[in-house]
Amino acid sequence: MVTNKKRLEECTVLEFKVDTVRLISENKGKEDEQLLAIMRINVQDLPGNIWMETNLRERNFKTQVAQKIKKSLIESPNDNFHLLNRGILISAHYVEVIEKESEKYVRIYLLHKGLHGSVDGGHTLEIIKKYKHQIINKKRVTIEVMTGVEDYFEELADARNTYVKVEDKSKLELEKKFDFIKKAIAHKRYAKDIAYKDNEEGSIDVRDIVAILSMFNISRYPNKQGEQNYPTAAYSRKAMCINWYREDYEKGSNNPYKKMTGLITDILELLDRVQADLPNFYSTSVANGKGQYGRIKGVTPGKGGRKFKRLFADEVAYTEYSTPNGFIYPIVGAFRYLIEEVNGVYRWKADPFEIWKKIGPYLTLILIDAHRGVGNNPNSTGKFISLWGHLYDKVKIAYLDSQE
């Protein structure tokens, strides 16, 4: 994504005074210039209208962490809040430093909701906004502003939000609440690659498994006429999916994740199949044999013989491209229509692999058209609700046609 001054007139502009600020530029003067502004500001100067749509975490102000942030702000006489708190991260279209009467100010330009705004530090931001009228002593907070991160925003947001408190992830493992997943995949090659606890070795985070399964939760996302909503949270809010998993586990025999136990390996294999087939479907059906999948914005081609491991393949296998989850999840999530519940157990109404084989090229065409329609941004593609709905409808039609 190019960082420049284009379209500034379309932006929401936030301007505030800073105590100190450092502006770092990469590729200065070039088309792919990116800016990083690091600043410390008095909490009283923090603007109250920073966009929050980009922040992945659900905010719970009753937790011990939230209470400690509040206590440090209101009760502590020391000006060390900026040292004890990791601060706020903001994604922006553009950022600049200006001077007014010998004081420094920062201007942040926000253009796209869902891409620009608070990425991390949502609790800190909201608590400051709510309680700053009660703060008597001087308190400062650190703010980072990044520009030009739109193309890999989802990765940035996920990386900054990978910490999930103990009771949300590791405690689930300690309480053996992932055991039925472990049993379901025990015979698969990738079973040993899943990390269920913080700092555990493994190339697959259990959060990703839970997010993928959440796309097939027909209790939360029922396949009912006129009642459709789509599991975009599986792509953009993995911490929320972990919370749902914890809540649903307490439902015992009504736990939708347990109901899909017999389908878990199928679901993961379907995701692997989509990832593996997309390049070929694009080349043969979308580009008529003339286009190169690796030139699509967001797709990373292997270079110098490098290949990418297919995480859920039965045998060790590789692909020549790394496909963004913003492409894969909307397609895989569309196959939720093929799930039904019979006698308290989820099952397929039809073979998902046969339907993918039949309409996969068409779904690929829909995906790429949508990707182009949202400015070739894979993160926007993954959040594009109309795309999720369109793909879901095509799977539904394919199933109904197969029943005639």
Burial class (CB in 10 A: 0-12, 13-18, 19+), 10: exposed
1 within domain boundaries: no
Residue 297 has pLDDT above 80, yes or no: yes
Task: Provide the pLDDT for residue 22.
Answer: 95
Range of the domain at 213: 166-402
Looking at the structure, tell me whether residues 106 and 184 fall in a common domain. Answer: no
Looking at the structure, tell me whether residues 175 and 101 fall in a common domain. Answer: no
Does pTM surpass 0.75? no
Chain mean position to CA 11: 24
Looking at the structure, tell me whether residues 152 and 293 fall in a common domain. Answer: no
Q: Which residue, of 141, 160, 179, is where some domain finishes?
A: 160
- Mean pLDDT of the residues in the chain: 88
Angle at 62 between CA 57 and CA 64, to 5 degrees: 90
Chain length of the chain: 404
Neighbouring CB atoms inside 10 A of 231's CB total: 23
Q: Which residue, of 109, 141, 160, is where some domain finishes?
A: 160
181 within domain boundaries: yes
Looking at the structure, tell me whether residues 155 and 178 fall in a common domain. Answer: no
Looking at the structure, tell me whether residues 26 and 96 fall in a common domain. Answer: yes
3 within domain boundaries: no
Looking at the structure, tell me whether residues 139 and 189 fall in a common domain. Answer: no
| 165-207 pLDDT, tens digit each | 544 667 788 789 999 999 999 999 999 999 888 767 788 989 9
175 within domain boundaries: yes
Residue 331 has pLDDT above 80, yes or no: yes
Give the pLDDT mean for 143-157: 82
Task: Provide the pLDDT for residue 215.
Answer: 97
| 205-243 pLDDT, tens digit each | 899 999 999 999 999 999 876 657 899 999 988 888 998
Residue 91 has pLDDT above 50, yes or no: yes
CA distance readout (Å), 295 to 98, 276, 286, 342, 376: 39, 17, 13, 44, 11
Neighbouring CB atoms inside 10 A of 63's CB total: 13
**Structure tokens given for 241:** 């999916």
Domain count, the chain: 2
